Amino acid sequence: MALSRRYKESQEKIEHGRLYGLREAVDLLKELPAAKFDESVELAMRLGVDPKHADQMVRGAIVLPNGTGKSVRVLVFAKGEKETEAKEAGADHVGGDDLAKKIQEGWLEFERVVATPDMMGVVGRLGKVLGPRGLMPNPKLGTVTMDVAKAVSESKAGKVEYRVDKAGIVHVAVGKRSFEAEKIFENASALIGAVIKAKPAAAKGVYLGKIALSTTMGPAIWIDPASVQRAAA
């Protein structure tokens, strides 16, 4: 695939083989030629874990200090007073069996699913649809809860979920190219700190491996893992 002139110009500004400090990387990213749209800023981390083993799974959620720059559509499975609470908190869709039927018929116009514990019987029937898309509510992520107002508010405020994939990589968007450098830095620092705290007891050797910061259409800027670990300590 031929590289665009903009991509080549970006590559030339990045010192080959160098590992940057996180703040340096963010500042450099802001100096790179921008695309014609507001790209996402993405952070990828290779972890020293084997996701095939349940005791080495790394998964969690965090509310980014400055949000993601993206409007998230939240669906809530609730009834009674909790249905009212969810609507007042700003949920885009609230219901029960009616929503489950729509989803089973192929409707997927939402990015986050929250459910009260008593509605998990309904949600459970959607496992084959929601599970592969990473949308299944989970109490460990705060998406199975009686405090639906809080869950909706956090989702709207910029809560992101992270999960290590089969290759041992965590990949999360930490903002938009249009964000001020300080806001990107704060979001990236918060995510890295959360992933470090989520280190499984069963993980051996080097936990935080390669780290790359990039925009949607830009080349990777490699970050020094030791420097971010020291900052998070």
Q: Give 174's pLDDT tier (boundaries 50, 70, 90).
A: very high
Percent of the chain with pLDDT over 70: 98
pLDDT tier, 70 (very low <50, low <70, confident <90, very high otherwise): confident
* Strand 93-95 versus strand 208-215 pairing type: unpaired
Type of residue at 84: T
Query: What is the model's pLDDT at position 164?
Result: 94
The pLDDT score that the predictor gives to residue 21 is: 95
Q: What percent of the chain has pLDDT over 90?
A: 87
Q: How confident is the model at residue 1 (pLDDT cuts 50, 70, 90)?
A: low
Domains 5-67+159-232 and 74-157 share a fold: no
Given this model, what pLDDT does residue 4 score? 82
Q: Name the superfamily (CATH) of residues 5-67+159-232.
A: Ribosomal protein L1/L10, rRNA-binding domain (3.30.190.20)
- What integer pLDDT is reported at residue 150 of this predicted model? 95
**Mean pLDDT of all residues in 168-175:** 96
Domain ranges for the chain, please list them.
5-67+159-232, 74-157
**Residue 2 reports pLDDT greater than 90:** no
Please give the CATH topology (third level) of the domain spanning 74-157.
Rossmann fold (3.40.50)
Q: What is the pLDDT of residues 102-117, one digit of tens each?
A: 999 999 999 999 999 9
Residue 135, pLDDT above cutoff 90: yes
**How much is the pTM?**
0.86
> What pLDDT does 67 receive?
93
Q: What is the mean pLDDT of residues 131-157?
A: 93
